[in-house]
Structure 1
Amino acid sequence: MTDLIHVILLGIIEGITEFLPISSTGHLLIAEHWLGARSDLFNVGIQAGAILAITLVYWKRIWQLLTQWREPATRDYLFKLVVAFLITCVLGLIVTHYGFKLPERVTPIAWALVIGGFWMIAAEALAAKQADRTEVTWRVAILVGIAQMVAGVFPGTSRSGATIFTAMLFGTSNRAAATEFAFLVGIPTMYAATGYELLKVWKGGGAAHEDWSALIVGFIVSLVVGFIAVKWLLGYIRTHRYTAFAVYRIALGAALLLLMPGA
């Protein structure tokens, strides 16, 4: 029963944090200090649940992009999504080839949470001074692709936070428009990353001794909670800034630095 509770808690954490700008990787690594580490396949599985959740949230928009691509505005938006995705893939393969990744320890994650929180506050303040723009420019598409790769290298950065605020700072100052582009480009990126990790785990024989019942429970919990979290966030940002998430990041990071120094 205790193990089941741990699995459910990890699924809830993944579902809530994957698309909120507070870093799912950071929260899962911190949670595993108390709940125990799970297999790589389990972590991939619950991430897949969160990805399916956001796919379901945006299925109408995705369908529109795929069926109305002949319209110039839709085609332009779709091309920008593809370019951002390809930039992330190419840079990600280069980083993977050279094996560059920071250690997944609490202290660097805590610093990433704190620094990212202050950066979010500054970025939103600067974006607020710009004219309200919903257009996604080519500069935004390229920089969002780079931001995704950077977030993958620095645990605790938050992929959603990095991409949303990069878009807001460099041309798409409207929160809703920046969030939509960041989430849409994240869908194929995360499917590709999850598929890559799944293949790696499978080839390494990690699936042979997997607790499949725990993985299925974690997947379902992450899917349901992720769907609710994204729907809530999209409603929240219509009338609120991201400041509350930034303050939470700073408070959590500071607490970790004080309570778990050197971890």
Structure 2
Amino acid sequence: MNDLLSALLLGILEGLTEFLPISSTGHLLIAQHWLGARSDLFNIVIQAGAILAISLVYRQRIWSLATGWRDAASRDYALKIAAAFAVTAVVGLPVRLLGWELPETVGPVAWALIIGGVWMLLAERFAESRPDSTTITWTIVVAVGLAQVLAGVFPGTSRSAAAIFIAMLLGLTRKPAAAEFVFLVGIPTMFAASGYALLETVGEGRAGSEDWTGLAVAFAAATVTGFATVRWLLGYIATHRFAPFAWYRIGLGAALLLGLPAGS
């Protein structure tokens, strides 16, 4: 398949799956078995394209947080976003440097999809039995930061799913509020990850071998599709459960385990 077309399709896939709790990384790894493998820089930076989309969706919220330091509630919320990002950075950087992650093959991704789907069903059921709340405690802040690290270690976990559902389990039971906090924490997280991956690529002398045109096409596609997807998702979760996404994960993971040869 033409490299640019492949990059375009991967960018669209990233934009569609980054914010849905079905694992964008898992879907990209699976798709690349047929569309051709891409570099770590490609896989990370196109996620930043989707994060740019969330920045556009929440641009008014971000502006109010950036300019609302005199308001105690805004200041507290912004500090908690920064703290969750700090937890991810402080724990995640050593994890990355030590290479602590599962192999990026379809087998581990399939298991992560299934386990994550079951976890979502159980977590949502438990959260729904608790009082409705939009309070973000410091326990939730730390847990969201650690959940993002966990998603990086286990491809197929889904950063958004891991973080949203741990927040819900710990008391942030209003789904739109949990999603907003997790998405906003994801903005500095993914931009920092993209910057780090770019510095690694340049520092190791791999910049000349990178498909920058394909990366730009995928980044733009991820931004456009990500914007449309997150606008739809925020409306959906206000009145619907996450269960369909959980069953999709379980079904896809099972299909992969049944359809792929051992070692894939």
Q: Which residue of 1 aligns with 2:240?
A: 240
Aligned-pair Cα RMSD in Å: 1.2
**Structure 1 residue 99 displacement after superposition:** 2.4
**What is the identity, as a one-letter code, of the residue corresponding to 2:226?**
G
The alignment of Structure 1 onto Structure 2 pairs a total of residues equal to 263
Say yes or no: does 1:59 pair with 2:59. yes
Partner Cα separation in structure 1 for residue 108 and residue 41 of structure 2:
24
Q: Which amino acid aligns with 1:246?
A: A
Q: Which residue of 2 aligns with 1:82?
A: 82
Q: Measured at CA, do residues 206 and 68 of structure 1 come closer, stay the same or move farther in structure 2, by a change above 3 Å?
A: same
After TM superposition, list the pairs within 5 Å mapping 1:208-219 onto structure 2.
Answer: 208-219=208-219
- Aligned: 1:44 with 2:41: no
Give the whole-Å Cα distance in 2 for the aligned partners of 1:190 and 1:167.
19
Shift of 1:211: 2.7
User: Structure 2 regions of 5+ residues with no counterpart?
Assistant: none
Partner of 1:157: 157
Give per-residue Cα distances to partners, 1:52-87, cap 9 Å, x unaligned. Answer: 111111111111111012211111111111111111
Distance in 2 of aligned mates of 1:166 and 1:78: 20
Q: Which residue of 2 aligns with 1:181?
A: 181
Aligned position for 1:145: 145
Letter in 1 for 2:217: V
Q: How far, CA to CA, are the matches of 1:161 and 1:41 in structure 2? A: 23
CA contact (8 A) 2:101 2:154 kept: yes
Establish whether residue 202 from structure 1 lines up as the match of residue 202 from structure 2: yes
- Distance in 1 separating the partners of 2:204 and 2:54: 29
Q: What's the secondary structure of 2:172's corresponding residue? A: coil
Structure 2 CA distance for aligned equivalents of residues 208 and 41 of structure 1: 13
Unaligned runs of 5+ in 1: none
User: CA-to-partner distance for each residue in 1:16-56, whole Å, 9 max, x for gaps?
Assistant: 11111111111111001011112333323322211111111
The CA distance in 2 between the partners of 1:209 and 1:94, in whole Å, is 27
SS at 1:62 equivalent: helix
Identity %: 61
Quote the Cα distance in structure 1 between the aligned partners of 2:97 and 2:37. 26
Equivalent-residue separation in structure 1 for 2:44 and 2:249 (angstroms): 24
| Contact in 2 for aligned 1:85/1:189 (Cα 8 Å) | yes
Q: Aligned equivalents of 1:150 and 1:201: distance in 2? A: 24
1:250 and 2:250 correspond:
yes
1:110 and 2:75 are equivalent in the alignment: no
| CA offsets 1:149-187 (integer angstroms, 9 cap, x no match) | 111111110000000001111010000001101111111
CA deviations over 1:175-228 (Å, ceiling 9, x no partner): 000110111111111111111111101212222133332222111111100111
Name the counterpart of 1:166. 166
In the alignment, the residues of structure 1 paired with residue 238 and residue 83 of structure 2 have an alpha-carbon distance, to the nearest angstrom, of 27
TM-score (norm 1): 0.96
2:35 aligns with 35
- Cα distance in 1 for residues equivalent to 2:33 and 2:134: 41
Deviation at residue 2 of structure 1 after TM alignment: 2.9
One-letter amino acid matched to 1:110: A
Paired position in structure 2 for 1:124: 124
- Is the 8 Å Cα contact of residues 84 and 145 (structure 2) preserved in structure 1? yes
Greater shift after overlay, 126-135 or 203-212?
203-212
Deviation at 1:135, TM superposition (A): 1.2
| Inter-partner Cα distance in structure 1 for 2:38 and 2:206 | 12
Helix, strand or coil for the counterpart of 2:69? coil
